[in-house]
Structure 1
Amino acid sequence: MTTAELQGSYGGLYFGFCTLISHVLLAGITTAIVYKCLVLKLVHTAGHAFYCTIGFVFFMGEALLVRNSAYLESSLGPLNLNRLHAVLGLLAFLVGVGGIGIKTWQKLERKREDPNASVRHFKSNHALYGIIGCALLLGSVLSGLPLYFINGGFALKMLHRFFGLSGFLALMVSQMFGYNTGFGRRQWKAHHQKLFKFFTFIATITTANYEFRRFVRDVAGLATDYFIGLDAAEAREDL
């Protein structure tokens, strides 16, 4: 076995292990929070946490994972794999935005009931990263739709991947800040909040690292081709 083949084998084992960890953590975090929200009958913030966790943590994380799965690509074929990726991404956006809409509506209702009530919109770190991540996810959906119907070219694919990856990172940061909110402090003890943060952080790294590596490699390759082409053009001019 050559050095390149050995490195490829080790790399495959590493990313395969990361994918397994990601599936377990995404499902575990989602199950734990969804169960708590169902116990609370989705009342008040529980409804917001329920839909946002399912959409932004589970569906969004799985959308990234399945797109880079060689096993699923060989089993389903590239076209069906793209369809699965698209469905998960669209569900992430629709379900997650529904969760944000629930919280926004609750705040508006509270303000109507008590005009003197202090109601803040998108002022906390949790809300700020959430709305940024949601905007990036919208960009991913809008840039992904043309790719589903036509071959949009390398630039559009890179833009779609940038929106998807950065959106996922922002939403997972929002999720970690969410454990510090009043809802998080009321429902879980301090050491449980720390465990949620730790597992969410690990899930973020293991889910995003392969796509991040591919994205950086492709950007570096694009930059290299550009500068090599520029140097070649200058050399021809000198002739």
Structure 2
Amino acid sequence: MDGTLVDSEPYWMRAETELVGSFGGTWTHADCMQLVGSGLWNSAAILQSHGVEMPADAIVAWLTSRVQEQLAEGGIPWRPGARELLQELKTAGIPTALVTMSVERMARQVADLVDFSGLAAFDTIVAGDMVTESKPHPEAYLTAARTLGVDPARCIAIEDSVPGVASAVASGALTIAVPHQIDLPESADYVRWPSLAGRGVADLLALFASRETPLTPTTSEDTVTV
């Protein structure tokens, strides 16, 4: 979600800076970058090491609420092409899952703000407080595929961060890396697109067609998770 569909990383960075500053500390852009794509409880431990004297759960709750406030004030800052691709997937009837390390209440806020003429933005949501292991562990993506009743190998995962890409690749999903805040180098493990702008269902189907290993789907539907 953050950085792939929604350009919410600046909101997180502002919240982190405010929180560390409230304890008299300094939080740099480099500090912000090391948290991109990380699980919130992992991030909380790093913030504690920078002087934030709060329990991890309280840090996660404060950051989430602060980012939600900014989303409510500014609306959804969509990444280029993300809304259009998601809408095309919904129109085509392709199941979608939102896989994010943000907590469920924030993920649902974003999903609820998406208006597709009565269509739910996602068929399922797997958030950071719904899994035991955060990205780069594949649990979140495996959970999404299992909930949708599909083989992970029949899924396409779209990610923007190093932990996110690692999680998606480890799950067995065909992974598209779309760099945003952090560069993601070319790799044989995933496909790298500079942007989702101009990309549609036909582009996703072409990736399956070009995949070297023949796939045996467990259902007739392909799936996209982000």
Give the TM-score, by structure 2 length. 0.28
Q: Kindly name which structure, 1 or 2, has the bigger radius of gyration based on alpha carbons.
A: 1
Higher strand share: 2
Give the TM-score, by structure 1 length. 0.27
